[in-house]
Copies of this chain bind each other. A is one copy, B any other.
Amino acid sequence: MAIIGFSRSAKMGVSAIVGLGNKSDIDEDDLLAFFEQDPNTNLIAQHCEDLKDGRAFAEAAKRVSKKKPVVVLKAGRTSAGARAASSHTGALAGNDKIYEDVFKQSGVIRARSLRQLLEFARGVPVLPTPKGENVLIITGAGGSGVLLSDSVVDNGLQLMAMPPDLDAAFRKFIPPFGAAGNPVDITGGEPPITYVNTVKLGLSDDRIHSLILGYWHTIVTPPMVFARNMVEVKKEMEAKGFVKPMVASLAGDVEVEEAAEYLYQNGIPAYAYSTELPVEVLGAKYKWARGAGLL
């Protein structure tokens, strides 16, 4: 039921919703095998209270996740949750460490919450596969840069150590009191062209593999101006062959909600009032890419 409202609200496509009931016949690995070859399905998201056949699931997931991301929300992680699961579906929720290992070994992205399952299902297929581990933050707000850096670590990502020549190149676009290094802090009073120049440089330099943008609402660069500029830059650079995952965090007045929506609908997962969600989605993409042997 949560998928229905969330997907309509987020304009996320859904190829199928399957409720497995008591799994007397069809179970999780059967569905993985089915959706593996379904051309309408880009990602498989699963909520479960147990796995009927853990070995068969691991085998199928290992194969399928190389082609399509598989995201799983395992309910009954805790003792109280496991008790509730046993009275709900009769599931033996089992030792969570075993599930953790099974998911890790089979390339499954584990969601820790219902909202995360939904956000990963929405965002992971939107992002292109990164070509390496170097993540760069470009931010109009120093404070967001710090919080985004924390999120980078929390989500198993790696801030690129900034090479001196690249640092000098970024510094040409930003005021002298902006912070060098990574995050690139362009400071809060800059016009749209500063976002445009620095993001273009971030997309074009091959040493950088992913971008995280921190937007800060000003009269000089209003939310929708920022959003339209970023989508244009993305298209322009893609036409030149520079394709990289890019996510955005927006701080500001309510207009940032519309801007985030516009960015998301145009291939840049973006969130208002959060420095965590965009990085979680990027982290999920990386987890998948690593598990699938693409990194």
Q: Which residues of A contact B (CB under 8 A)?
A: 1-2, 4-6, 8-9, 47, 49, 73, 75-81, 83-85, 87-89, 113-115, 118, 137, 141-143, 145-147, 149-154, 159, 179-181, 183, 185, 216-217, 251-257, 272-277
Q: Return the contact of A273 from the options B118, B217, B257 (Cβ within 8 A).
A: B118
Cβ–Cβ contact A256 & B5, under 8 A: yes
Q: Is A75 in contact with B147, judged by CB distance below 8 angstroms? A: yes
Tell me the number of copies of this protein.
2
Return chain B residues, CB-CB under 8 Å to A114: 147, 273-276
Q: Which residue of B lies closest to A87 (CB)?
A: B179
- Which B residues touch A253, using CB under 8 A? 1, 4-5, 8
In the bound complex, what is the Cα–Cα distance between A257 and B273 (angstroms)?
Answer: 18
Give the complex CA separation of A225 and B279 in angstroms: 37
Shortest C-beta distance, A116 to chain B (Å), equals 8
| Distance of A89 Cα from B6 Cα, bound (Å) | 39
Does the CB pair A185–B118 fall under 8 Å? no
A104 to B153, alpha carbons, bound, how many Å? 23
Contacting pair A88 B179 (CB below 8 A): yes
Instruction: Let me know if B142 and A89 touch, CB within 8 A.
Output: yes
Is B153 within 8 A of A78, CB to CB?
yes
